[in-house]
Chains A and B, each alone.
Chain A
Amino acid sequence: MDGGMQTLRGFVVLLLCQSAGEALARLLGLRLPGPVLGMLVLLALLAWPPVRTLAAAAADALLPHLSLLFVPIGVGVVVHLGVLAEQGLRIAAVIVVSTLAGLVVTAMLLRWWCPAMADPAPEAPLSADAPEAAR
């Protein structure tokens, strides 16, 4: 089976997991987004090798372009920035300060609790129990 077909089939797996996530969120009345629950569904299914091969192919095709997927929301923000004009500077200050606080607190605690993660050397190779999909 060629790589393109694998990717397409993997994409079907992703969509099915997302649908399952949406269904779970509605049925259980959870305030969690469907795709996040879908990620948990897929994580459980990855123990099953056929799913693993297909999901890996689709993930390796989709994830390198993750940042592209935020462009449409981002353009909406730029177009609506005028709304913030009056409070704009103060809001910018709050966003910068609080984002820096989040980054520093998380990173400092991790360096303290899990020094192995702060090692600048390249990471150990990944477990090779699944084929990397066609690139």
Chain B
Amino acid sequence: MSAGFVELWVYLSATPLFGLTATLGVYVLAQAASARLGQPPWANPVLFTVLVLGALLMATGTEYPVYFSGAQFVHFLLGPAVVALAWPLWQRRAELRQRWAALVGAGLAGGLAASLVAVLAGWALDLPASTVASLAPKSTTAPVAMGIAQQIGGVPALAAVFAVLTGLTGALLAKPLFDALRLHGPALRGFALGTAAHGIGAARAWSVHPSAGAYAALALGLQVLLAAFTLPVVLPWVLARLP
């Protein structure tokens, strides 16, 4: 009986079925728990799902590529989802036309602030130069951060890890921070989240308010463009001047 169960587990855990079922199953549970608790930022469903699945993989000795063979079906949908962000932007096109200068200015300043503070803090804490260069583009979405890190002497894989950690950090800290500083308005909060914490911040904003989600989507798209053009120029200049 138990030998049969082990055999069955070995078979099932090696098929894509395991990764897909585990991803969706744990996420559905995390969503339900978060909704029950009134969606506080510390019960972020992504964070919870990621931690539970990480623990599950380690406890069962499942290799990440085996898990990913199933999870890739979920991962793939990120592309179409980014394309779909055009829709909430279109719905708000009138107010965006009015506010575009303020939005571009704030996105540019916020993105540069996040990047420069990361470089200076990393340098002050005596981190290796390649780690600092990998931390610099972390406020942009992971694939873009990897490309920029490579151009400025960072490690792309590290940059992807830092980008994801940044997204989770932003999603967790934004609400208490904004409450403390009395920064209100779903549009304003959403835009700041999308600027500093890209897609994961946008997903958090989306779960709070549709307007916050739309502005976060705008900020994340804008940040990709701004970062791709400014960071490869500004960062080497800054890095070269640090002793």
| Residues in B lying within 8 Å of A, measured CB to CB | 19, 23-24, 27, 44-47, 49-51, 53-54, 57-58, 64, 67-68, 71-72, 74-75, 77-95, 99, 101-103, 105-107, 109-111, 113-115, 117-118, 121-122, 125-128, 131, 135, 138-139, 141-144, 147, 157-158, 160-162, 164-170, 173-174, 177-178, 181, 183-189, 191-193, 195-197, 199-200, 202-204, 206-207, 211, 213, 215, 219, 221, 224-225, 228
Contacts and interface: CB of A to CB of B under 8 A. Distances in A.
Nearest to A36: B224
A106 B50 contact: no
A95 B195 contact: no
Given A67-B207, A77-B161, A99-B197, A46 B125 contact: no
Contact of B186 (A63, A103, A123): A123
A120 B166 contact: no
A78 B51 contact: yes
B181 A104 contact: yes
A96 interface: yes
A32 to B, nearest CB: 6
Which 6 A-B residue pairs are closest in the complex by CB-CB distance?
A: A102-B114, A106-B110, A102-B196, A78-B54, A67-B203, A74-B50
B81 A63 contact: yes
A26 to B, nearest CB: 14
Interface of A: 11, 14-15, 17-18, 21, 31-36, 38-43, 46, 52, 55-56, 58-60, 62-64, 66-81, 83-84, 87, 90-111, 113-114, 116-120, 123-124, 126-127, 130
Contact of A106 (B81, B93, B147, B191): B191
B102 A110 contact: yes
B127 A69 contact: no
A104 B184 contact: no
B68 A94 contact: no
B80 to A, nearest CB: 4
A103 B141 CA distance: 15
A12 B134 CA distance: 36
A104 B107 CA distance: 11
11 contacts: A14-B80, A39-B221, A60-B87, A67-B203, A71-B46, A73-B75, A75-B57, A76-B64, A77-B165, A93-B121, A103-B178
B80 A15 contact: yes
B164 A73 contact: yes
A106 B107 contact: yes
Contacts of A93: 121, 125
A70 B121 contact: no
A71 B71 contact: yes
Contacts of A69: 74-75, 77-78, 81, 203
